[in-house]
Amino acid sequence: MLAGAFVAQVVGALLPNTLLLAVATAVGLATDAALHRWQRRTVTLLAKAHADVTVRQLLRDLLLVVGLLRIEQQSQESVFLPVVIGLLVLYALHFTVQAVSVKVRRSRTLPFVTRNIDASALRLSSAPPSLLTRRAGHRLLAFGAPATLGLLVTAIVDDGLPSAVGVAVSVTLMAVGLVRLALHLLPSRRPVSEAEALAWLDAWLAEYRPTVGMYFSGGTTSAYQANMWLEPLAALDGRPVIVLRERFMVQKIAATDIPVICLPKVATLMRLEHSTLRMMIHPANSGKTSQILRVPTIKHAFVNHGESDKLSSCNPYAKAYDEVWVAGPAARERYALADVGIDDRDVVEVGRPQLDPVLPYAGPPSGTYTTVLYAPTWEGWDGNPGNTSVVLAGENIVRSLLADPGVRLLYKPHPMTGSVDPRAGAANERIQAMIREANRRRPATSGPTVDAAELARRTAELERATSSSFRAAADDVERMLAQGEPDSGRAAEVERATAAWDAAYWGSFDEAQHQIITAARPGIFSCFNQADVLISDVSSVVSDWLASEKPYAVANTSGMTEDEFRAAFTTVRAATILAPAGDGVPGLLAAVRDPGQDTLVKDRAELKLHLLGPSDPPSVSRLRDAARALEQKTLLRGTARPEAPASGIPTQRDHLAAADTADPAEAAPSPS
């Protein structure tokens, strides 16, 4: 439509044909607006082809001018010359605004970003509207619309006044925007310099004195990997801090009272060497992880973002860390069998503290429907057909489930499904279409127990509780020093709001309706508590599900026989194995509904202990013990930072000197 509009506009300008020119211009404007609203990928491709919105709008306006001059056969050139000059001024202002916006962004870009830290000393101010600073295409479309519409009206009514008025309005809007931006370059509106900002960061680290931290770097869809470790991190002794590397990730970290620091540059990251940090946990590997591992004053523990039998769960990169913290004995064995260079003495079993919200098995389904959670994983990077069941088995499994009138299906695909293999994305879309069609054919029963207004109210409460806005008490050093740990007020508030929202969400549907869950809420553990049985792939979802000891099934799309599959993957040893055809679904449902047919109860209990470790002592306690022990190793190595003196932050040389003169007897660990 966009290409056709330009062709029609050229024809209308050259003929000339007033109606064709007017319609083509209007269609082009509407199509451009629609592209920016619904087809961002197409807009990006056009920009790569050097046909961005500025070029398109300029061409559109010039074709209007050509059409006007052709219509008047040059007889009113004196009328349209000011209009042409006005258009030139408009575009000159547009490019000037773009140049100033770059300067404003650079002047406002500090070497780090923070959350939950009182950064008022940095003289931060509200940012200019994004229409002026980052959305150049939207700005030209919005501010240039009066000029384009004025030219369009002139072409229709054969009067030069509308075009003159439209151009004047557009020039005025662009000039006001330029002044609005320029005000942010005044000395009083600028934040502190980079040197002052870094000095402030050093002073804050010296005052807050963090001892434990979490390091995270990743893509736009990977924040869930860090978010699952927020509560366990907050439960550790000391004053924790979260260190990020990508600016966009600051807003993707979920609600927490833990101070967050984003350090994009390596040079800024290295300043942590002069802090009191003693150990950091790492939920994921990334290319930037090696940068923080260079800091010799910090010990590092890899905790992973989930445990499964995939090769990624015993990545050779793990040997770069000082310790590898795993849930239970199964992961220890996995690393030993993988032979990737991990010393067994560096593997520490801490359990899975995130699994506290998972409710235990309460027996077979007691209601009208058996709720089945189908939560397949994504296709991965290596093209292995056994990674995900979506491509080869997903539709067959869902078809079998929907054929049972007593099943209520919860479908929760991995958020990265289809990101590598288009076949997985297409299969995911077909599965969702099947579920929607089944809902249309299925009659309602009792109806929802919670109305839309109640759900909206609970949603608003949860959004307030999980807001990333600054809270003045989040880094109150004196309070933390007095209490010995961060304030749990936000965590308790989030827990209450989440529980209320979950209850409202599940109550807002008719109990007979299947659900497609692709948003961040409800979380996977909330889905666990709704479901009677899980169907998944070889993934950490299976390991976590075992905390409930409910029945589960794993799809085998690897090409192995069932015996080979059970021998290869520990997590499936207590599972019902489903072939790609999905013909094992009826037997699975029968075992879920009739405890007499469920022959895997004992196997699930034993596998839970093997995968997740014992429930006593609690996982949170074991995590704290592991953190204390790793901190102690840092102290014994002589590279940990002592208490920062009042005069400043100690240097690496100070610590090496302290280590050289330390009394060996004083450094020996106590019997406790």
Least confident range of 39-43, 47-51, 381-385, 464-468? 464-468
Q: Is 534 exposed, middle or buried (0-12, 13-18, 19+ CB in 10 A)?
A: buried
Higher pLDDT, 589 or 367: 589
* Secondary structure letter of residue 393 according to DSSP: I
Domain map (residue ranges) of the chain: 2-109+126-187, 194-351, 370-447+510-612
Residues in the chain: 672
Residues 6+ apart with CB under 8 A from 154: 68, 160, 161, 162, 163
Give pLDDT, residue 640. Answer: 44
Mean pLDDT across 281-309: 89
Q: Which helix (H) or strand (E) holds 392?
A: none
3-state secondary structure of 467: coil
Query: What single string gives the DSSP state of each residue in 117-161?
Result: S--GGG---PPPPHHHHT-HHHHHHHHHHHHHHHHHHHHHHT-SH
Give pLDDT, residue 73. Answer: 59
Tens-digit pLDDT profile for residues 545-576: 999 999 999 999 999 999 999 998 989 999 99
Confidence (pTM): 0.72
Percent of the chain whose pLDDT exceeds 70? 89
Assess contact for 489 and 319: CB atoms under 8 A: no
The structural architecture, per CATH, of the domain 194-351 is: 3-Layer(aba) Sandwich (3.40)
Tens-digit pLDDT profile for residues 79-129: 566 777 787 788 889 889 989 998 988 888 889 999 989 888 888 888 888
Q: Which two tokens stand for residue 129?
A: 């509207």
**Across the strands, what pairs with 115?**
260
Least confident range of 298-302, 583-587, 659-663? 659-663
Least confident range of 155-159, 473-477, 635-639? 473-477
Q: How far apart are the first and last CA of the chain?
A: 75
Mean pLDDT of the chain: 84
Assess contact for 322 and 347: CB atoms under 8 A: no
What is 370-447+510-612's CATH topology?
Answer: Rossmann fold (3.40.50)
Give pLDDT, residue 456. Answer: 92
Q: Per-residue confidence at 585, pLDDT binned at 50, 70, 90?
A: very high
Q: Which helix (H) or strand (E) holds 173?
A: helix 161-182
Residues 6+ apart with CB under 8 A from 92: none
Assess contact for 635 and 298: CB atoms under 8 A: no
